[in-house]
Amino acid sequence: MNPAEVATALMIERTLQASTAYRKVDDNLYVIKQGSAYVMLSVVPWGENKAMLRFTALLVKGLKMEAQLASQLLELNGHLRFGAFSWDPSESSVSFSHTILGGATLDADELLATLRDIALVADEYDDKLMSKYGGQRMRDLLEEAALERIIDKSPKRPVI
């Protein structure tokens, strides 16, 4: 890790350590839960001596892209203070993300302001998009995966 990546990771950890919604996943990956949404914070190297901090929330997976959805996402992008909605055709999913400069210039207020906006938009729009266009929210996908792991690990009993 370059010095800017280290400084960014330390700022995240110092700023969010008291939050019960915060989890460190890896050296450069953190997760914050907000309602039904999860925001991933990724520390990304930029050149040899710089870093970026990317905030990403997978909102809904399993959607069919249609003109009305594309139009709604583009219109919303024009009104938001931070971030933008995006479409991943390989996953049939809508995400919301924003990237800021990390390193020595990143401060706690900037980190928290960005995180707060991204988390609140993600928590609001995962529900709205799912109810209007279908699919599953990140929370639903995680709960489903956890249930499958529990069932796979439970002892097999004969069916009577």
Residue 144 corresponds to which tokens in the numbers above?
């489903």
Tell me which H or E stretch contains 99. Answer: strand 93-101
pTM summary value: 0.87
Residues 6+ apart with CB under 8 A from 33: 21
* C-alpha span between 156 and 147 (Å, rounded): 15
Burial class of 84 by CB neighbour count within 10 A (0 to 12, 13 to 18, 19+) = middle
Each residue's pLDDT tens digit in the chain (160 positions)?
Answer: 899 999 999 999 999 999 999 999 999 999 999 998 999 999 999 998 999 999 999 999 999 999 999 999 999 999 998 899 999 999 999 999 999 999 999 999 999 999 999 999 999 999 999 999 999 888 777 777 776 777 776 565 555 5
Q: Residue 116 carries which side chain, given as an amino acid letter?
A: R
* C-alpha span between 106 and 97 (Å, rounded): 18
